[in-house]
Every structure is written in structure tokens, then in C-alpha cells.
Structure 1
């Protein structure tokens, strides 16, 4: 799964909202920041069954994005999102489907300034990728204060029993996004991305 650079979206009425505006804590339809906000979002993906790391393939300029994440169909994955400093995540949509968020508790002192959420992603709805083809899987994150971030992750889907080709490439331990919300806006800009 690979982030599509410089693609920023803002949704005034996401799929999970009721009516024409987002339900926020204040009386306004949309809360707009009075100052710019910067934060880091780290994304971790591994197989739920055995904790196996997913792999990343370098595709160069063959496709819209330079990297491709390799996944298996009909497989459960654990997706963890770590946000630093602490920022509440309200909802997440993956491939237009809403997923239940589980907030992780931590006792580590160095994790006190971050928040971590975990979801279970099942790929049974994703079709096998044809030879030479890639699929964009959109992630839409709704944060507190009505802020939104959309990232497109470029993937190649193998059969659930395929164990050879999906392990070619380099392990993807973390996708780190350095984000910024401009003053007076609700959309999140990705300033930098790193595959670690």
C-alpha cells in the first residue's frame, strides 16, 4: 500500500455522518482551526493470524505510485495507527467501508504523548490483481475537530494461499506521514512520507 503524494481531500459530509454536516462538539457545522496544527501519523500493517510483516515492492515509474504493498485476499490484517502528539481519531473508512476503532492503552512513558488505534482489516472484498495491474485502496481518517485525511495506498492482491511472490521485496515496518493542517482549514496535508 503506498501513499499517493500531494493528494488531499476534504469531505463535508462523510458516509458515516448524519444529514448534511458532520456532528461536532460545537454549534457550527464545521470547526475550523484558529492556528496551524502539525502531527505525525505512523501506519503499521501485519497479518493478524501470525503477525507476519507485509512486503513492499519498488515499481519505479511503471504505475501512478512508485511503491506497491503486497497483500493476500481473504486474509485478516491488523492495522495500527499511532498519532503523535495525541490526537483523537473518530472514524476510519477503508475502501468505502467503515471499520471499528479500538484505542490501545499504554503504560510506557514515551508513549504518553501519542495515541494509538487498532483495526482488523479483512481483504475478502478485494479482487485478485491481474498481471501488471495495481489497485488503489483509499483510507479516509476523520479526526477530532472535523479534520480529514485521505491517503491512497497502491496494492497488489495475491491469492490467500500465495506465499512466494508476496514475500519478494522489502518488509514494510512503518509508513510514516508528517502531516499539517493549515490555519482555518479542516483538511490534512501530507508534508512528507517515509517507508521504514
Structure 2
């Protein structure tokens, strides 16, 4: 019997404000695009429901240090991710940011966040669209596999 669970990924500004996304339809690899500034720090939070320990987190090919936090009887893992080194997106371009988490007693969870990068001080366009507090991933681990299948993705 496959294991069924949720993985929640949150991304907010260093000041605690939500990031925004826009719906792109079928023009790109994914229907929704997260809007981020270059050379900015973002707080990334990841958790599994029911709770499982996150053993490691890799963002865009680099392992990041995670801190375990518990609030309201929920445990999450938090890191700061810096967008230094990314270029501002040209019109019609999107960047795929792979997120890979090793989850204890489950295996490997991997998703790509589709992002558009704006200038360091740009505040108008980066805040247009809907606020994104978390992306919920309904997941299952097929019998005999150590790689997680994402069944459904929900922006909230």
C-alpha cells in the first residue's frame, strides 16, 4: 500500500511578507510563476504532514542548512535562501529552481519552482498577482520506491 502524505513549501521575504505568483497558463513548463527579486534573501520553510523529519534540503543544486522549528504542535524546517547570482528574467523567460528534500522513512521529494526574477529594487511588478503563503503538494510513495510522486499541487 503506497504511503500518502503532504509536503508544504513556503517562501517569504526576509521581512516576512509573502511572495507573489502569476498564472501563466500553458506558455511555460508550469502554470504558475513565482516572482522574486535578484540579490535578495528569502525564508524557505518545508514540512511534511503527518510529520516526518527532513534530513537534508538542496536548493538549485546546493545543500542548505536547515533549522528545525516547532510552533502550534507543528514541526517545520527553515532556511534562508539568497538569489545572488541570478539574472533578471527577460520577457518570456522563466527559471526552474529544483528543490530536493530527503525525508526520513520516505525517500526523495523533488519539485521545480518556476520563477521569474526581477531587479534588486523592483517592488511594483514583483508584488503583482496573488500572494503565495505555501505550496501544498499531495504526495504518495509507491510501493518499493524511494522517490516521491507529486499527485497534486495547490498554491495558497
TM bin, normalised by shorter chain, reads: over 0.9
Number of residue pairs matched by the alignment? 156
Work out whether 1:55 is the aligned partner of 2:20: yes
Distance 1:172 1:146 in 2: 27
Aligned residue in 1 for 2:3: 37
Change in Cα spacing, 1:83 to 1:146, as seen in structure 2 (3 Å) is closer
* The structure with more strand, counted as a fraction of residues: 2
In the alignment, which residue of structure 2 is the partner of 1:115?
A: 75
Q: Distance in 2 between matches of 1:98 and 1:148?
A: 14
Q: Indicate the residue corresponding to 1:90 in structure 2.
A: 55
Residue matched to 1:99: 64
| 1:66 CA displacement | 1.0
Structure number with bigger Rg = 1
Q: Find the aligned partners of 1:192 and 1:115 in 2 and give their Cα distance.
A: 22
Matching residue within 116, 129, 133 for 2:89: 129
* TM-align CA RMSD: 1.3
Distance 2:2 2:63 in 1: 28
Match of 1:29 in 2: none
- 1:188 maps to what in 2? 148
1:77 to 33, 42, 65: 42
Unaligned runs of 5+ in 1: 1-34
In structure 2, stretches of 5+ residues that fail to align are none
Counterparts of residues 137-156 of structure 1 (less than 5 Å): 137-145=97-105, 147-156=107-116
**Structure 2 counterpart SS, 1:166:** helix
Query: What's the TM-score, normalizing by structure 2?
Result: 0.95
TM-score, with structure 1 as normaliser:
0.76
SS in 1 for 2:70: coil
Contact 1:85 1:115 in 2 (8 A): no
Counterpart Cα distance in 1 of 2:133 and 2:45: 11
Secondary structure at the aligned position of 1:105 is classed as strand
Once the two structures are TM-superposed, the CA of residue 105 in structure 1 deviates from its matched residue by 2.3
Alignment match of 2:12 (pick from 36, 46, 51): 46
